Amino acid sequence: MNKQIYPLLIAQFLSAFADNAILFTVIAMVMQSTQLAGWYVPALQSVFLIAFVVLAPWVGGFADNHPKSRVLIIANLIKASGAGLLLCNVEPLIAYCVVGVGASIYSPAKYGILPELAGHAFLVKANSWIEGSTILAILLGMMIGAKVADYSIVWALTGTIVIFIVSALITMALPVRVLERKTCSGISAFWQQISSFFITPRSRFAILGGSLFWASAATLRVIIVVWAPLVLLSKNATEIAELTLFLAIGIIAGSALVPRLIPLEHLRRARIPAYLMAVFIMALSLTESIWPARFTLFFIGMMGGMFIVPVNAALQELGQQSIGSGSAVALQGFFQNLAMLLAVGSYTFAAAHKVDPVFAMLVLGLLVLTATFLVSLHLPDNKDK
């Protein structure tokens, strides 16, 4: 494995840690307030996703046409400014949208730089490391962020700003490299990229599969915020974070196992853990006590990790061979965040109309099961088809 991947692992770990610390800080703000309605948390998730959808035609080309290591620094500073706005008591929906702008710039550069550092032979392994360290960062970010936020919102936000800046400084250790081929950006170029990238069933599966995973993950997370206090009697942000700890551990376990089980040449196998993830989501809706819920969340996470790692690796390799790895990740970001926006927006609407979160979770599992079948219907066995 290229040793230059290690600074990337550390930098993106810190950035993902701060991303989730901010989210659970805002969740703590909502739970501590008597004026904010139950739909506010899914609304926050929605404004975060809007930036990915709106900026998708530009962020991929920006990542491919500039040194990706420097793009990562810019993105971290934007996210730090969003945390600063929260610290200055700016409306959380606006401030968290700024964090989303930084995240939308960060993602194509983070995943787009992997093929440059790892190459084909280690791409799935590098993705498993990135995915595993990201989930570990999510786990620690939500746990520590929630605990600090329950103690002091100001200290939690100050800490995230510092972490974003440290991540930017570590990123300076990555190589400054620009591909000779220039990637066009803008709306017309973006639609051309969609047309050219969707030619093969393999690339369609990579895009739609990633969209399915993240839409279901984002929706499950916001449902749990309402479901856990109702069914498991969770009382604060820390207890909800402790519950989702098992989801994160499961994703780490799945990410670690998948390089041996689903190499790029057998991408079709990824549909199996996706089906199982849907089944476990439905099983979670039937649980009523803490330990069965924790174990079920662990298996949901494990199946999700085994599904998304090979999908991401396939997308990066296909992108590097065609429209550029950064542009391919931005394209994936557009579709997966549009799917997340629609899914979370639908749940926000349902929550505003008092839909039972248990019923919402059951419906989510059924939708994931159906979508997995439709997405993988025409996926060929042969890598080259």
Contact 314, 111 (CB under 8 A): no
Measure the CA–CA gap between 272 and 270, rounded to whole angstroms.
5
Q: Cβ-count burial of 9 within 10 angstroms (0-12 exposed, 13-18 middle, 19+ buried)?
A: middle
Dihedrals φ, ψ of 311, to 5°? -65, -45
Residue 79 has pLDDT above 50, yes or no: yes
Question: What ranges make up the beta strands (E) of the chain?
Answer: none
The percent of residues above 70 in pLDDT, for the chain, comes to: 85
Query: Model pTM?
Result: 0.69
Residue 37 confidence class, pLDDT cut points 50, 70, 90: low
Measure the CA–CA gap between 221 and 228, rounded to whole angstroms.
10
Measure the CA–CA gap between 218 and 349, rounded to whole angstroms.
15
How many Cα atoms are found within 13 Å in the side-chain-facing hemisphere of 372? 26
Dihedral (Cα; 209, 212, 214, 218), 10-degree rounding: -170
Higher per-residue confidence, 310 vs 80: 80
| Amino acid residing at 28 | A
Residue 185 has pLDDT above 90, yes or no: no
Residue 91 has pLDDT above 90, yes or no: no
Please count the other Cβ atoms lying within 10 Å of the Cβ belonging to residue 128. Answer: 25
Spell out the domains of the chain, with CATH numbers in brackets. Answer: 5-171+182-375 (1.20.1250.20)
Measure the CA–CA gap between 172 and 134, rounded to whole angstroms.
19
Locate tokens 């084909």: which residue? 120
Sign of CA dihedral 114, 115, 117, 121: positive
pLDDT score of 321: 64
pLDDT score of 384: 42
